[in-house]
């Protein structure tokens, strides 16, 4: 079941727009949309399979969302198509059960180390952002299966980092300006997962003949 929070871009003040987003969460929580409910510590626990805040012109996840969903187990979260520059460290604390996180098409260049606490995260999409290197935290996600980092500004990969996930299947690094050395090392790397790379464009000097 997909619960889409379809918040259209608004020309009103930012606080009113965020309030509108929060109101949509309230509507869902007090309605009959929830696929499952359970009791946790004597309180009713709402379980949401998918939350969608894509294309809302957000610069960050509103604090109201953290508050209104404090009794909700968010499984997947779509924050794509916004203008988010950073994710708060408390995101991992509030939504620790997430398995799929889409941060694509934003303006992020780093991720907080606290995202390593997303112990259930399997799919992370950070494509179409402004990363110049893979965030160190992605090497510490124990259940990560797919990492989509294509269409960034990644130049090099820290090859001294150790990937802790034994479930990793795919790392997508297409359409990044990798250095020739880094590209060749990744292309011929002997790893248990698949690395997606674009064809390397030769430097001007490589086409010169002596």
Mean pLDDT for the stretch of residues 168-177: 96
pLDDT number for residue 147: 97
Q: Is residue 27 part of a domain?
A: no
9, 14, 16, 22 alpha-carbon torsion, rounded to 10°:
70
- Residue 82 maps to a domain: yes
Are residues 147 and 172 in contact, defined by beta-carbon separation less than 8 angstroms? yes
Question: How large a percentage of the chain has pLDDT more than 70?
Answer: 71
What confidence tens digit (pLDDT) does each residue in 91-115 have? 999 999 999 999 999 999 999 999 9
Helix H or strand E encompassing 111: none
Q: Please say if the pLDDT value at position 139 is more than 50.
A: yes
Residue 113 sits at φ, ψ, to 5 deg, of -60, -25
Q: Is residue 24 in some structural domain?
A: no
Q: Confidence band (pLDDT; 50, 70, 90) for 49?
A: low
- Arithmetic mean of pLDDT over the chain: 80
Number of folded domains that form the chain: 1
Residue 157 lies in a domain: yes
Residue 90 belongs to a domain with what CATH number? 3.80.10.10
In a domain, 26, yes or no: no
Lowest mean pLDDT among 28-32, 66-70, 188-192: 28-32
Give the CA distances from residue 153 to residues 75, 174, 193, 198, in Å, rounded to whole numbers and listed in that order: 29, 10, 22, 13
Q: What is the pLDDT of residue 152?
A: 98
Is residue 67 scored above 50 in pLDDT? yes
Residue 190 belongs to some domain of the structure: yes
- 156 domain residue, yes or no: yes
Q: What's the pLDDT band for 69 if we cut at 50, 70, 90?
A: confident
pLDDT on residue 200: 82
Q: Is 21 a member of any domain?
A: no
Range of the domain at 56: 51-196
| Residue/partner pairs of 108-116 with CB below 8 Å, 24 or more apart | 108/84, 109/85, 110/86, 110/135, 111/87, 111/135, 111/137, 111/138, 112/86, 112/87, 112/88, 112/137, 113/89, 113/137, 113/140, 114/89, 114/90, 115/87, 115/91, 115/141, 116/92, 116/140, 116/141
């Amino acid at each position: 079941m997909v619960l889409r929070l379809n918040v259209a871009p608004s020309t009103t003040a930012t606080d009113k727009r965020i309030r509108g987003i929060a109101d949509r969460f309230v509507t869902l929580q007090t309605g009959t949309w929830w696929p499952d409910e359970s009791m946790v510590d004597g309180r009713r626990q709402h379980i949401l399979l998918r939350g969608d805040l894509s294309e809302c012109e957000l610069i960050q996840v509103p604090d109201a969302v953290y508050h209104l969903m404090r009794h909700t187990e968010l499984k997947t979260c779509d924050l794509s198509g916004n203008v988010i520059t950073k994710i708060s460290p408390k995101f991992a604390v509030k939504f620790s059960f997430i398995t799929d996180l889409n941060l694509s098409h934003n303006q992020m260049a780093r991720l907080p180390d606290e995202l390593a606490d997303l112990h259930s995260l399997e799919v992370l999409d950070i494509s179409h952002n402004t990363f110049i290197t893979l965030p160190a935290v992605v090497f510490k996600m124990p259940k990560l299966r797919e990492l989509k980092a294509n269409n960034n500004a990644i130049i090099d990969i820290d090859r001294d980092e150790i990937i802790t996930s034994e479930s990793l299947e795919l790392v997508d690094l297409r359409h990044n300006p990798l250095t020739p050395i880094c590209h060749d090392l990744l292309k011929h790397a002997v790893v248990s997962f698949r690395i997606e790379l674009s064809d390397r464009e030769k430097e001007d000097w490589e086409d010169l003949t002596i």
